[in-house]
């Protein structure tokens, strides 16, 4: 539910409360008016007078019941709508509070949860705490920091930092974040080579040694290369 929906629902709740207050006033006025009518009817002394008084009372009772039933019907409908809205609002408020708690959790606590949409605070934490994570794109896997910078640039900002300063954020799901170990071998090599552009041969070999190439499944990656 959007903030606009939540606001409109709150406005409707307040509107119903005002309408119920007006209905209670109308019911009280109608009861007082009907009581005044009853008290003004003289019982009479003759049979004709008593019969006439009885007819007046019957007419007033019929009129009064019709008015009251109509007002009570409107009141019941409003009370039912109010109970539904109040229940939904309570549920929405609970969901909002739950989301606040989730959004304020440390990012390390939620990275292992599938389908979790990271809050802006948690995305910032990925950068601030130096998490070595990657996002899959149509150009291969990209370091999360670079991904955020590019997305910010596409949105017309000079940097991700500027985007955040302006009050905007970029959504990232835990499902779209992978560690370097999960990246296909040929992509991982390219990443290492990019990092090692200015390294000499010995330094590059050290970087490649850090990848534990013996533990990587080259067969799967060769199949990927063949399919491409």
The enclosing H or E element of 131 equals none
Give dist(CA 86, CA 64) in Å, integer. Answer: 32
* Strand runs labelled E in the chain: 133-137, 140-143, 178-179
What is residue 172's three-state secondary structure?
Answer: coil
Give dist(CA 218, CA 209) in Å, integer. Answer: 16
213 DSSP assignment: G
Predicted local confidence at residue 181, as pLDDT: 66
What backbone phi and psi angles, to 5 degrees, belong to 19? Answer: -65, -40
Question: pLDDT tens across 92-137, in order?
Answer: 666 556 666 666 677 677 777 777 778 788 888 877 877 778 888 8
CB 103 within 8 A of CB 52: no
Give dist(CA 103, CA 123) in Å, integer. Answer: 10
What is the pTM for the complete model shown?
0.41
The pLDDT > 70 percentage for the chain reads 67
Give dist(CA 228, CA 39) in Å, integer. Answer: 96
Q: Which residue has the tokens 């799901």?
A: 173
Among 92-101, 116-125, 171-180, 191-200, which stretch is predicted with the lowest mean pLDDT?
191-200
Give dist(CA 178, CA 143) in Å, integer. Answer: 9
Mean pLDDT of 151-155: 89
Predicted local confidence at residue 126, as pLDDT: 78
Q: How confident is the model at residue 175 (pLDDT cuts 50, 70, 90)?
A: confident
Domain ranges in the chain?
3-103, 107-180, 184-228
Among 45-54, 125-134, 153-162, which stretch is predicted with the lowest mean pLDDT?
125-134
């Amino acid at each position: 539910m959007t903030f606009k929906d939540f606001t409109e629902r709150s406005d409707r709740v307040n509107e119903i409360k005002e309408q119920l207050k007006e209905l209670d006033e109308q019911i009280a006025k109608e009861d007082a008016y009907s009581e005044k009518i009853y008290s003004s009817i003289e019982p009479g002394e003759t049979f004709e007078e008593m019969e006439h008084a009885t007819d007046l009372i019957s007419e007033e009772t019929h009129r009064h019941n019709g008015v009251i039933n109509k007002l009570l019907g409107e009141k019941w409908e409003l009370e039912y709508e109010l109970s539904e809205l109040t229940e939904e609002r309570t549920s929405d408020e609970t969901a909002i509070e739950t989301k606040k708690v989730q959004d304020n959790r440390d990012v390390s606590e939620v990275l292992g949860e599938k389908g979790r949409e990271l809050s802006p605070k948690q995305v910032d934490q990925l950068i601030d705490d130096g998490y070595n994570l990657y996002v899959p794109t149509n150009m291969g896997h990209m370091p999360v920091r670079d991904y955020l910078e590019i997305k910010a640039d596409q949105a017309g900002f000079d940097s991700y930092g500027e985007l955040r300063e302006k009050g905007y954020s970029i959504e990232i799901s835990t499902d779209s974040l992978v560690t370097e170990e999960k990246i296909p071998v040929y992509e991982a090599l390219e990443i290492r080579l990019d990092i090692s552009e200015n390294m000499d041969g010995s330094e590059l070999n050290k970087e490649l040694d850090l990848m534990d190439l013996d533990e990587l499944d080259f067969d799967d990656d060769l199949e990927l290369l063949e399919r491409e």
